[in-house]
Chains A and B, each alone.
Chain A
Amino acid sequence: MEDIEKVIGKVKFSLFSPEMVRKISGARIIIPDTYDDDGYPIDGGLVDSRLGVVDPGLRCKTCGGRVKECPGHFGHIELVRPVIHVEFSKYIYSVLKSSCPECKRVVEGSGRKAKGECPNCGAKIPDIKFLKPATFFKDNVQMLSTDIRDWLAGVPNDDLRKLGYDPDFARPEWAILSVLLVPPVNIRPSITLESGERSEDDLTHKLVDIIRINQKLEANINAGAPQLIIEDLWELLQYQVTTYMNNETANSPPARHRSGRALKTLAQRLKGKEGRFRYNLLGKRVNFSARTVISPDPCLRIDEVGVPPAIAEELTVPMEVTEWNVEECKKYVRTKEYPKGLYILRPDGKKLKITDEMREQMAEELKVGWAIERQLQNGDIVLFNRQPSLHRISMMAHEVRVVPGRTFRLNPTVTAPYNADYDGDEMNLHVLQTQEAQAEARYLMKVEDQIISPRHGHAIIKPQEDHVSASYFFTKDGTEFTKEEASKLLMIAGIRELPKPNKDGMYEGKRLFSLLLPKGLNVKVKSKLGEEIVIKDGELIKGAVESRALEGEMLEQIFVKQGSQAAQKFLDSVTSMCLEALSWNGMSVSMKNYSLSANADKKVKDIEDKANREIENLIMQYKNGKLERSPGLTLKETLEGNIMMVASKAREDVGKVVESDLGMDNTSIIMAKIGARGSLLNAIQMSAMLGQQAVRSKRLARGYKGRTLPFYKRGALTGRERGFVFASFRKGLRADDFFHHSMGGRESLVNTAIRTARSGYMQRRLIHAMQDLVVDDDFAVKNGRGAIIQFAYGGDTKDPMLATSTKFVDVTKQDDLDTV
């Protein structure tokens, strides 16, 4: 099986000369119609069978091929009078303007040109005007396309080169069409409606119009009609061809369909998001892929994906039959049970479906050098993806694990890079079809190799939410397990040997946790709770593990020192072991978690009163003119700024009260503090007060004239009337509080919508500008042209994924920021 690999080295663009158009044309089109009464293509019509076939059963008269074999052939229309190709009118103008009408030489420099004379022959240089879309005036007299063509045809090649043309491939007179190329029918297929009626493509419609006008013009010329009428028709022909090329040409009303819809002509087919380039050429559709809803499955490894049987039975993996795997392949062909072969690929390119009756016979025939396509099975490598694919870790390689159900299953730990959740998200799966692709995926795209994000060099796949809570409780001082419990936990983590117990026969949580840590791991960090976490040579000595220690220290260190496999194992065993232990005790949050003591409630009330007093005081000062203006601000702005400060101070104070009152026994506070889920702000808003609501970082002020809601006094400035919400979610909001809170909420929704659109476009531009930059084998970064952008990538040739240089930051969730 010798494949000749064809490689396209370059693509050259040029104009077609009229002779060239006639040469590549398969048929001259003369009839402005498509099918005859019997439903057959009319000879010389727009769907002439020499242009290719679209109807099954017919054969192409040019190449003899059937529907799928014939690539389609161009035809041509002889225009009785030439017309200008609109898209080139700008270029025609530039040639007309810079050449002499008599000697046709390109006039250069100032010299005699300033006097309006040709420096070559001394002829007068006329004043050329260009009126969009395609009309030219010579000294205010409209020029005929024929005259323009003759002028352009006279310009010598060498002079054209000076203007940047390549006359061997693009003579300017070729931009004036005397022969119009007609695209093959399979580019403009007609659709048959339910009623049996045919509906032609927009391009066909347009071509019909062009032929009609062309015929009319010809008839008039032959009949010796007055020049005026001929010119009118000529102009109409120009308009038809103009809209055929581009139906959005400036100063030219778009040609419309009977229904009033503007026709989609050539330019419209190419450009824009739904155009040929972006939609078809850059967005190719693929086979061997599947899409369904995702659901969580913590029992899977992070590098696995649960595939439902219905999908596994449909998708196939090709297997080349070699002398080493003939028997295995034959087994797939023979069996009627699940992992079975579906097709046989013969070297002659034939694809045979394996039917149950033929299995035995086909298995016997199977030869080395053939290939089979077998059903997807456990251990196969696939690509898994969730849109929007904003970064490369939006698509990673997973191992298949066939599981019951109708959804893809995914370990919750890997949702972070995909930015997925399980509220109905769907994801795509692609089965790799070549050995090369499978190998590349296994070595470069596996989930465990993406634990560290290339964006900042820190873990992106990391223990989250309950994993963090679970590890915290697991490693807290005083957590102990019996022998039975410890055995269960270690089994889950894949450890088969019990460590030495304490004197009382119990196993400390820290001890069990340490078994997952590799020897040689040393950590000394201050935890988020302020205590010290010490790991010495893989032994957790002090402190309860929280998010910072887990991801920032252990996971990243293991990844760098021990490699991706070790990191993956660590991640999987920590999450599953700790979760199991947590599930024995349980951890939940209830209304009680957000009830403050009477004492704390009183304190909150005091803070509220104090804030109100201060705000009123400020307003008094403002009204009395005693408020001191801050530099650069108006008096009103100063007041607003000060009140905002009072408001945020109030919530800060409330925060302290809430934090101390709920205390460290409160699961909600624990989760916030160890970085598992939620923030202190959430707790404050639920238990004590929502705080100041803001739009555009200012107190609420819009809605009605001088107030936010109709029953307030105009110009009211107090806290409540400008969106200070003293109520908490637990106690419930008053109607006005509710409105105010919604106003702030609305702003963040609007912002999110705008942000996605704007950042999407920015990213498209960024990608387009930088996609050709590549680190060459000398570690210099070069662009598509080979020009050097950086002499050494990043200045040190280090991979950002492996040489972390940013500080570890705790990312505050956007939702939290918006309400502040």
Chain B
Amino acid sequence: MDNNKKAIINPYSAAGIVAAQSLGEPGTQMTMRTFHYAGVAEHVPTGLPRLIELVDSKKEPKKPLINIYLKSAYSRSETKVREVADELESILLSEVADVTEEMGKRIIRVIMRPEDAKALHVTSSMVEKAIKKTVVTLDVEKEEERTFVVKVKKAAGTGDEPVLKILRKLTGKLAKTLVKGIAGIKRAVVVRDKDGEHFIRASGFNIRDVVLRDEVDSTRIYTNNVMELWKIFGIEAARKALVFEITQVMEMQNLAVDPRHIMLLADAMCADGKVKSIGRHGLSGEKAGVLGRAAFEETIKHLVNAAVTAEEDNLVGVTENIIVGQTIPIGTGKIKLRMRADK
């Protein structure tokens, strides 16, 4: 038999358990250190914390990062890429201006800080536009070249709210108003990949709005935020991203894990078209058997619920059969062939 045929896996192999062990066992050897991407994000989790974050399929990873490649027409010139990066980076009003409330006069004064504005390429017309968009119906006066005044008065739709309360609320809202860029993109830096191509490495999320920009090559955008990829590009993208991210974690720690184990985990997590975590709110919480679920976590909850709905446990899982003391339906336990003693 050639080596290729010899390497075919035995039917009834406990593929899941072996995969879980292969991913879990190196966990004890991993570091908890964080990683640093110059200029974009510090303390990007790697190693065990990152692996846990991935298998938990957290809605928001601690440090979401986006790699943005531009269409080839743009990506050749570094200046062009930098330009786009600048336009992507979100800048809040408070980053370029001081927003102060003046209770007595019932006004909010926005005074731009020229140096900051210049450094971040923000013009006063951009600020004006942003303010107007936020306050909608209220009057905005341009007091000086770089100073705007919002006069707060009782407006329709605000109900009984006292004017001062509106003023206070609006001040906070103004400070967080987006002046420029795409909401959610915190920082964008131009980096060169190993082929020498320039791309933008950004921290934050909202790839949906990034993709909508003309210069961006939507076929090559990537984020380490698996949940966001799933929402925008679908389950297959999420599965691939999961495999890629877990592989990355293992490689960075110099731990060898066969890709088959990683793929199986990703497939199990994505099998129902949703990205499910491995914990009690995901895969482990919806297993077939009551006994299996009760043995994992939230014992009482599962038993009580099973009683009310008169649930049956058909003992299809490993845990369930161990509980009742029977052969587990995996490996040689699945074989029904017996030798008759009398023959």
- Taking a contact as CB atoms under 8 Å apart, the answer to whether A11 and B25 are in contact is no
A759: contacting residue among B19, B30, B42, CB under 8 A: B30
Contact with B along A773-790 (1 / 0, CB 8 A): 111110101011111111
- Taking a contact as CB atoms under 8 Å apart, the answer to whether A766 and B13 are in contact is no
B299: contacting residue among A270, A775, A807, A817, CB under 8 A: A270
A806-B315 Cα distance, complex, nearest whole Å: 37
| Contacting residues, chain A, for B93 (C-beta < 8 A) | none
| Contacting residues, chain B, for A168 (C-beta < 8 A) | 310
A630 at the interface (CB under 8 A from B): yes
B23: contacting residue among A392, A766, A772, A808, CB under 8 A: A766
- Taking a contact as CB atoms under 8 Å apart, the answer to whether B308 and A15 are in contact is yes
A57 at the interface (CB under 8 A from B): no
Contact with B along A133-174 (1 / 0, CB 8 A): 000000000000000000000000000000011101110100
- Taking a contact as CB atoms under 8 Å apart, the answer to whether A390 and B291 are in contact is no
A277 at the interface (CB under 8 A from B): yes
B33 at the interface (CB under 8 A from A): yes
- Taking a contact as CB atoms under 8 Å apart, the answer to whether B7 and A769 are in contact is no
- Taking a contact as CB atoms under 8 Å apart, the answer to whether A771 and B307 are in contact is no
- Taking a contact as CB atoms under 8 Å apart, the answer to whether A812 and B254 are in contact is yes
- Taking a contact as CB atoms under 8 Å apart, the answer to whether B304 and A87 are in contact is yes
| Contacting residues, chain B, for A814 (C-beta < 8 A) | 29, 31
Q: Are A392 and B3 CB-contacts (below 8 A) given A762-B27, A775-B9?
A: no
A549-B55 Cα distance, complex, nearest whole Å: 36
- Taking a contact as CB atoms under 8 Å apart, the answer to whether B254 and A455 are in contact is no
- Taking a contact as CB atoms under 8 Å apart, the answer to whether A271 and B299 are in contact is yes
Within 8 A of B (CB), among A1-29: 7-15
- Taking a contact as CB atoms under 8 Å apart, the answer to whether B322 and A773 are in contact is no
| Contacting residues, chain A, for B72 (C-beta < 8 A) | none
Within 8 A of B (CB), among A97-137: none
**Closest approach, in angstroms, between the C-beta of A84 and any C-beta of chain B?**
13
B38: contacting residue among A87, A165, A456, A632, CB under 8 A: A632
Q: Are A267 and B7 CB-contacts (below 8 A) given A91-B308, A631-B38?
A: no
| Contacting residues, chain B, for A770 (C-beta < 8 A) | 16-17, 19-20, 264-265, 268, 278, 283
- Taking a contact as CB atoms under 8 Å apart, the answer to whether A766 and B38 are in contact is no
B324: contacting residue among A8, A631, A805, A818, CB under 8 A: A8
| Contacting residues, chain B, for A783 (C-beta < 8 A) | 16, 268, 271, 288
B259: contacting residue among A88, A277, A765, A805, CB under 8 A: A805
**Closest approach, in angstroms, between the C-beta of B301 and any C-beta of chain A?**
9
- Extra inter-chain contacts (7) besides given A772-B16, A784-B316, CB under 8 Å: A11-B324, A246-B300, A455-B21, A765-B279, A770-B278, A800-B261, A809-B254
- Taking a contact as CB atoms under 8 Å apart, the answer to whether A9 and B308 are in contact is no
| Contacting residues, chain B, for A597 (C-beta < 8 A) | none
**Closest approach, in angstroms, between the C-beta of B124 and any C-beta of chain A?**
26
**Closest approach, in angstroms, between the C-beta of A800 and any C-beta of chain B?**
4
| Contacting residues, chain B, for A228 (C-beta < 8 A) | none
A170: contacting residue among B27, B261, B278, B307, CB under 8 A: B307
Q: Are A772 and B318 CB-contacts (below 8 A) given A275-B299, A697-B33?
A: yes
A252 at the interface (CB under 8 A from B): no
| Contacting residues, chain A, for B232 (C-beta < 8 A) | none
Name 17 interchain pairs, CB-CB below 8 A, sorted by A. A10-B313, A270-B303, A277-B299, A278-B295, A281-B322, A282-B295, A282-B322, A391-B21, A392-B17, A630-B38, A631-B38, A767-B21, A769-B278, A774-B13, A775-B11, A793-B264, A812-B254
Question: How many contacting A-B pairs (Cβ < 8 A)?
Answer: 322
A181-B16 Cα distance, complex, nearest whole Å: 41
| Contacting residues, chain A, for B312 (C-beta < 8 A) | 10-13
B256 at the interface (CB under 8 A from A): yes
Which of A339-347, A529-537, A658-666, A748-756 contacts the other chain?
Answer: A748-756
| Contacting residues, chain B, for A8 (C-beta < 8 A) | 315, 324, 326
**Closest approach, in angstroms, between the C-beta of B335 and any C-beta of chain A?**
10
A169-B4 Cα distance, complex, nearest whole Å: 54
A769: contacting residue among B28, B268, B291, B294, CB under 8 A: B268
Q: Are A806 and B7 CB-contacts (below 8 A) given A14-B307, A281-B295, A784-B316?
A: no
B100 at the interface (CB under 8 A from A): no
A783-B16 Cα distance, complex, nearest whole Å: 9
- Taking a contact as CB atoms under 8 Å apart, the answer to whether B22 and A794 are in contact is no
A349 at the interface (CB under 8 A from B): no
Contact with A along B288-302 (1 / 0, CB 8 A): 111110111001100
Report how many residues on chain A are interfacial, defined by Cβ distance under 8 Å.
Answer: 101
A798 at the interface (CB under 8 A from B): yes
- Taking a contact as CB atoms under 8 Å apart, the answer to whether A768 and B13 are in contact is no
- Taking a contact as CB atoms under 8 Å apart, the answer to whether A811 and B300 are in contact is no
| Contacting residues, chain A, for B189 (C-beta < 8 A) | 631-632
A789: contacting residue among B256, B267, B300, CB under 8 A: B267
Within 8 A of A (CB), among B305-337: 306-320, 322-326, 329-332, 334
A440 at the interface (CB under 8 A from B): yes
B15 at the interface (CB under 8 A from A): yes
- Taking a contact as CB atoms under 8 Å apart, the answer to whether B322 and A774 are in contact is no
- Taking a contact as CB atoms under 8 Å apart, the answer to whether A798 and B311 are in contact is no
| Contacting residues, chain B, for A817 (C-beta < 8 A) | 31
| Contacting residues, chain A, for B7 (C-beta < 8 A) | 798-799, 802-803
- Taking a contact as CB atoms under 8 Å apart, the answer to whether B260 and A773 are in contact is no
A258 at the interface (CB under 8 A from B): no
* Nearest B residue (CB) for A778: B11
A223-B308 Cα distance, complex, nearest whole Å: 38
Q: 9 tightest A-B contacts by CB?
A: A773-B16, A763-B24, A759-B27, A794-B260, A632-B39, A166-B310, A770-B16, A169-B310, A456-B256
A172, A756, A794: residue with the most chain B Cβ atoms closer than 10 Å = A794
- Taking a contact as CB atoms under 8 Å apart, the answer to whether A784 and B308 are in contact is no
B9: contacting residue among A172, A561, A797, CB under 8 A: A797
- Taking a contact as CB atoms under 8 Å apart, the answer to whether A766 and B24 are in contact is yes
A543 at the interface (CB under 8 A from B): no
A560 at the interface (CB under 8 A from B): yes
Within 8 A of A (CB), among B228-242: none
A91-B300 Cα distance, complex, nearest whole Å: 14
A478 at the interface (CB under 8 A from B): no
**Closest approach, in angstroms, between the C-beta of A811 and any C-beta of chain B?**
6
